[in-house]
Amino acid sequence: MPKFRKKPVVIEAVRWIGTNTNEVLAFAPGVASYSDIDGRTVITIHTLEGKMTAQPGDWIIRGVQDEFYPCKPDIFDATYEATGGDS
């Protein structure tokens, strides 16, 4: 079976910790919204694949096509590392 390696790309991301909702909404304007669903606080992200919800602790990523999507912390840690720069 052929094997492939993910190309190295630099992304921007912000981690939603539950208290920085305004930061997340400013990071993803027009595609992120805050709500309470069944007693759970969530941020809904309108992705290329449809609506996805983020819970506190999840990362919100701006992808290579300026799309946004949530990512669970364990997947984020396994996939990304800090570049040491702000841009």
Q: Which residues is 14 bridged to in the sheet?
A: 60
- Tell me the two tokens of residue 34: 């805050």
Per-residue pLDDT, 7: 84
Instruction: Measure the CA–CA gap between 24 and 7, rounded to whole angstroms.
Output: 26
Instruction: Measure the CA–CA gap between 4 and 62, rounded to whole angstroms.
Output: 23
Q: What is the pLDDT along the chain (87 residues), one digit of tens a residue?
A: 999 888 888 999 999 999 999 999 999 999 999 988 888 888 999 999 999 999 999 999 999 999 999 999 999 999 999 987 665
Per-residue pLDDT, 25: 96
Per-residue pLDDT, 27: 97
Q: Where are the domains of the chain?
A: 12-79
Per-residue pLDDT, 87: 54
Q: Is the pTM of this model over 0.95?
A: no
